[in-house]
Every structure is written in structure tokens, then in C-alpha cells.
Structure 1
Amino acid sequence: MIIPELKIGHLTAKVPIVQGGMGVGISLSSLAAAVANCGAIGVISGIEPGFTLEHYSKNKFQANIDGLIHHIRRARELAPQGIIGVNIMTAINNFDDMVKAAVKEKIDVIFAGAGLPMKLPELVKDSMTKIAPIVSSGKVAQLICKQWDRKHSYLPDAIVVEGPEAGGHLGFSVEELERIEDFSLKRLVQEVLEAIKPFEEKYDRKIPVIAGGGVYDGADIAALLEAGASGVQMSTRFVATYECDASPEFKQAYIDAKEEDVMIIKSPVGMPGRAIRNTFLEKVYKNEKPKGIKCINCLKPCNPAETLYCIADALINAQKGNLDMGFAFAGAKVHRVDRLMSVKELINELMEDLKKQ
């Protein structure tokens, strides 16, 4: 197969891969810059990016804005010619402020999931920043396009469709995840393409669809490109790289994971999530709630009185390597990851594999 470029507005990535945004602190400036330097799109996670800053415990919202700005600037320094994006969850309480900070820093692309980012077009108005909502169905893609068209006369610059094999928070019910074969990523891509067609015709421009969730090798990429996707989003494979911002212990959890270790959890965010089973998760889902939870109301759907644990704390602990007090989100194919490699080695391997398809 001839490797196609991925075009999002005026941006052109020679490698049709978007590295998924992984929080907390799994994809920051080191990983995003390394990916961007290889011709793909590197993405900084906008979930608690200020957790290492001294003022994080005193003013979390400001620390996260400062952290986001720091990592955008650092990624730019490390990859001056590369395409850098940020992933900002719609579910966070300071979504608007985080988006505005990213736009002010002239970020190339904002990816927004975990909710419907209906205000996003007005937040990037008069900027060069491209916006790409993350959806789980053609119905949601159609709803966003309809609202953006009606209220803002704007269409998504790209759409990411995440299937049920993705890691992290999933846009599917637990019941749907038990019928995973009914929601194949190829089928979802075709469903989204059909849903956005009227809007593409109205505006006389193509909306590139990027497919993510369970994408592991060149054969997976080829199948999705043939189904009509313009590119793919990959996250799990980038964790087991030297440049990934996670701790060595976090990366080792990926390398050690077996297929039966992957589980679906009920997250405080209000969505199901896919994670690697460990003692922390087994304890909290037996209602052994951690003591001393200090909630600062970072997520719109989270109810501190009912939540089993603070997801921000758990993910920060895991990022730092303290997996006794946290856990690792991961995609369905994490059990196939067996070693560490460089980002360059990984992307070269994927592209060579893709050429053979």
C-alpha cells in the first residue's frame, strides 16, 4: 500500500497516525515531540498537566493551565517543524480556560472527547487552531456537525471515531462492550462517513475521519484506510516507548499484561473504562474506598460522595510508578506489547508493515 498523507485543514502529516492523548501525564511534551518529529501528529494530554508543579495542591486549575502552556512550548522547542495537538476532555470543569490557553499558544489541533464539545468552535474563533471532536458513533458525529453548522457555521476540521477496543474512557455502555463484535471499528468508520456526507456536500469540503481503538499494526491501519478513514489514532503502542512520559513501572505494566488482565471498570467520570487489572482496582471495586480523598471538583460528572476513589489521584500515582495506589488504562490489545522501543523504531515498523499490505 502507498502511504497516504493525513491532511487536517492546512496541516499535512506525512505519517497518517495521530498519537492519542493519554492522561494523567502519559503523553506530555516528550512523547508528543518525538511523534511529531517522525512526521505523525503528537498529542499532549490536557488532563491534569500541571500535576508536577509546586502550586498544584494550592491552585489546581491555574497549575493545569501553566502545565499545559509549559508542555506546548517545550514540544514546540523539541519539534519545531512537527504537528502538535492537545487532547482536552469536555468533562473537565475548566474546559473553556484550557482550550483558550492552548489556542493562545497557537496549538495546531485540539482533540475533544468525553462529552459533546458544542462550544468549541467559538473558543477557537479567528485562530489557526484546528478542532476535532472524538465520537463513538455516526449519530454523535451527525449531532455535532448539525449543531456546529447551525450555531457556528463551522464544521469539524477532522473527526476521531473511537471504537470499543480503545483504552481509557469509552463512549459505550457496559452492555454494548459485551457485544463488541456489533461495533467493529471499520463499521463505525463507515457509519460516521455516511453521517457526515450531507455536511461535506453543503460546505464542499472533506472532513477527514481518524479511526482509533485497538489499532496495533500495519494490517490494522491498512484495513481502516481501505474502509475510508484518512488516518488512525494509536495510543497503547506509544506507551512502551523510551520517550513516553510515564514511569518505567507504568510501561512495565503494559509489557507484563496478559489478555486476561484487561478489565472494564466503572470510572468516576461516569463512563466505562478499559484498564489493566491490579490490586488497587480489585480493592476499590470491593468497596475498600481509599482514605483521605480530597476532591477539588475537577470533573463535571464526578460525585465525591459516591465515587469509590479520586481518579486524578489514582492516575497520577500510576504515572509516577506507584501502582499500589493507582492503575493503568490500556487498549484491548495491550497483551501484544512485549518490549520497549523508540518512537522512531515503532513508526518505521508500522510504516514498513503498512507498505506490505
Structure 2
Amino acid sequence: MTQHSTTPASLPRLETAATRTLGIRYPIVQGGLARIARAELAGAVSAAGGLGQLAAAGLGTPDLLRAEIRKVREITDAPFGVNFPVGHMPIEDLVDVVLEEKVAAVSFTGGNPKPHIRRLEGSGIRILVLVAGPEQAIKAEQAGADVIATVGFEGGGHIGRTDLTTMVAVPLVKRSVGIPVLAGGGIADGSGLAAALALGADGVEVGTRFIAVREAHAHERYKTAVVQTGSNDTVVIKRSLGTPGRALSNRWTERILAAEAEGKPRDEILALVRADANARAVDDGDIETGLAWVGQSAAIAADIPGAGQLVERMVTEARDIVRRLAQAMN
């Protein structure tokens, strides 16, 4: 049985515009993590003071999503969210479940979230939209987003087409919108949190690092692979499809990159990146011939802690860094 901590957050609050908007204690949002983010992970992150999220991708049916939502509520009464990948699967019935269950927050990744945001109007559900730069951020704010998460080139899974890094994207997005902004991509510890706040972000959205925690619904070989990933062990695939994504370099990604380099038909490449390829890594622990979405921040990860322990560690490290910098400025 998965071990997880439901101990309420005990450190002093770290308050920002994002924590006030989302109703959380610390400005740390766990990424959607398709197939990986289930109730145990979301509940542990939220109980620790961050915002945990369930991944609709990998659940698929209203009954399964509803069951996971209710499992989270057995773990904690703190706010949590549900992540939806727009354009990758039908989500209309799943959004209905979120409305019926009165979940605190919803996040949208990829595609055009505007029609789904309209359906949530007046519900009180906070809406987070992931973007890759200022142009998308402006559109998301105009569509009704409450919070923006800008994900840089360093991130795992689906990233933007411009190769814009987190260091540059955060200030650009922050100055382009009037709502809270989270920094995503390349963030895995308290130094990343402190750096994001220094750049003007109101918090962080962390994906890859939450794969390598005890509560993540991922095979132990996948978690171990994250911890063992080096600085040059990830690659960007699917550029030829216009939907680039970063994954662990292995035999499967070599096959995908070769197909792209050879100009293979779109359908042939799509067949290599279907959900079953990701399932082989997540569920079966097939790290060589499965598709394992991993960001560059995996190189920073050195252990597999509890999710709540990771949240508190990040907050403590960030506070220590800010104190040290304050002393250096005197």
C-alpha cells in the first residue's frame, strides 16, 4: 500500500497573490502529470499546504474521476484541483463531474480552454491555464483564467513551440497580465521556488519532481529513472507535429526522433506517441521502450521523499535562501 502523509502543513504561511486566489498555504502547485496524479498524490500535496491535482488523463470516465475526487476528500479537506488536457480527449462529461463535486480548482493544458472556462463561470471554481508565453497568457486572461502557469522549455511533457526558457518567460508573462502567475519548467526544489519569486512569479507549478515521490501513481522504475536522470538525458520529440514535448531519452524516443528526421507520415509518428506508450513507462516500468515524460529538472532530484515532505522542504529551502540573500544585501 502506498504510504503518504496527511499531516497538516506546520510551517508559517508563504503568502502571495496565488495562495490568496487558490486558498492554499504555500505557492506550490503540483502538475497535472497524466496517468500519475491520483488521489494519494493530490491529497498529500494539498494536505501539506500546496495545491494537489488529479489528472483527468488516465481516468477517462466520469465515474472514475468522481471516485478519485472523493478519495482525495478522505485524505484532506484542503483545496485541490483537476487537470484537463484540452484537445487530447473528450472532457465535457468530466468537467460536469468537477462542477457537481464542487472541486476548488481546475487547470487546462493545451488547446483552447475558452469553451470550458465558459461552462465554469459562476461556479466559484478557480481556473488555472498553462501557457508557454505572453501571447497565450493574454488570451487566457481574456478568456477568464484566474491564474496563469507559464511553462518554459526546460519542462517535461508538452512544452511551447518557441523554446522560451522559464527565466525569460516569467517576467514577460508577468508584465503582460494582471492575474497571478506561476513559474513552471526546471523547478524541483526550494532554490527554484525562491528564484521564481525573485523573477516576479506568484508561485510555482512543479511536475517532474512530483513523479519521484512515494505517493505518485508510477512504477518504481519510473521514479528511480527520474532520480537517475542526468543533465543531458532528456530530448524534445514531436516538433514535426507542432506539439513538442520533453521526455526521457531512451530507445523509444530514438525511434520517434528517427521517424521525424526521415519525414515519416504524421499518422505513423502519432502512433508512436499514443497513450499506450506512456502507459508502458508509468504502469509497467518499461523505461527503454516506453514513453516517459521527464523535464530537465529531473537532474536536480536526488531522492524519493513523501510528497508532503517535498513541499515542506521546498518552503524551508526557499526561506533559508531569502534570508541569506537579505543578509548579503546589508
TM-score class, shorter-chain normalisation, is 0.7 to 0.9
Distance 2:29 2:106 in 1: 12
Distance 2:47 2:130 in 1: 24
Match of 1:278?
250
Whether 1:102 and 2:65 are equivalent positions in the alignment is no
Match of 1:319 among 260, 264, 282: 282
Distance 1:285 1:167, change over 3 A: same
Match of 2:141?
145
Secondary structure at the counterpart of residue 333 of structure 1 = helix
* Contact 1:268/1:311, CA 8 A, preserved across alignment: no
Distance 1:9 1:129 in 2: 14
Match of 1:18?
29
Distance 1:269 1:6 in 2: 36
Task: String of CA shifts for 1:4-61, please: whole Å, max 9, x gaps.
Answer: 25546664211110011101x21111111110110100011111224xxxxxxxxxxx
Whether 1:74 and 2:71 are equivalent positions in the alignment is yes
Match of 1:334 among 298, 301, 323: 298
| Structure 1 position 92, deviation (Å) | 2.4
* Contact 1:257/1:334, CA 8 A, preserved across alignment: yes
Distance 1:340 1:111 in 2: 26
After superposition, residues 133-282 of structure 1 pair within 5 angstroms as 133-146=129-142, 148=143, 155-172=144-161, 176-177=162-163, 183-197=164-178, 207-266=179-238, 270-282=242-254
Distance 1:185 1:37 in 2: 27
Sequence identity percentage: 29
Distance 1:2 1:47, change over 3 A: closer
Distance 1:26 1:267, change over 3 A: farther
| Structure 1 position 254, deviation (Å) | 0.8
Structure 1, 265-274 or 112-121: larger mean CA deviation: 265-274
Distance 1:95 1:269 in 2: 22
Distance 1:95 1:356 in 2: 42
Secondary structure at the counterpart of residue 188 of structure 1 = helix
Distance 1:15 1:265, change over 3 A: same
Matched pairs, number = 305
Distance 1:351 1:305, change over 3 A: closer
* Contact 2:22/2:105, CA 8 A, preserved across alignment: no
Distance 1:307 1:186, change over 3 A: closer
Please provide the CA RMSD for this pair. 2.4
Structure 2 segments unaligned to the other structure (5+ residues): 1-11, 322-330
Distance 1:305 1:215 in 2: 33
Distance 2:208 2:270 in 1: 26
| Structure 1 position 316, deviation (Å) | 1.2
Q: Which amino acid in 1 is paired with 2:50?
A: A
Instruction: Report the TM-score when normalising by structure 2.
Output: 0.85
Match of 2:49 among 39, 51, 57: 39
* Contact 1:240/1:340, CA 8 A, preserved across alignment: yes
Q: Which amino acid in 1 is paired with 2:54?
A: I
Match of 2:328?
none
Distance 2:271 2:141 in 1: 36
Q: Which amino acid in 2 is paired with 1:65?
A: P
Distance 1:260 1:44, change over 3 A: same
Task: String of CA shifts for 1:237-294, please: whole Å, max 9, x gaps.
Answer: 1111111111111111112222221111117974111111112222344449xxxxxx
Distance 2:21 2:308 in 1: 25
Structure 1 runs (4+) greater than 3 angstroms displaced: 5-11, 267-270, 283-288, 302-306
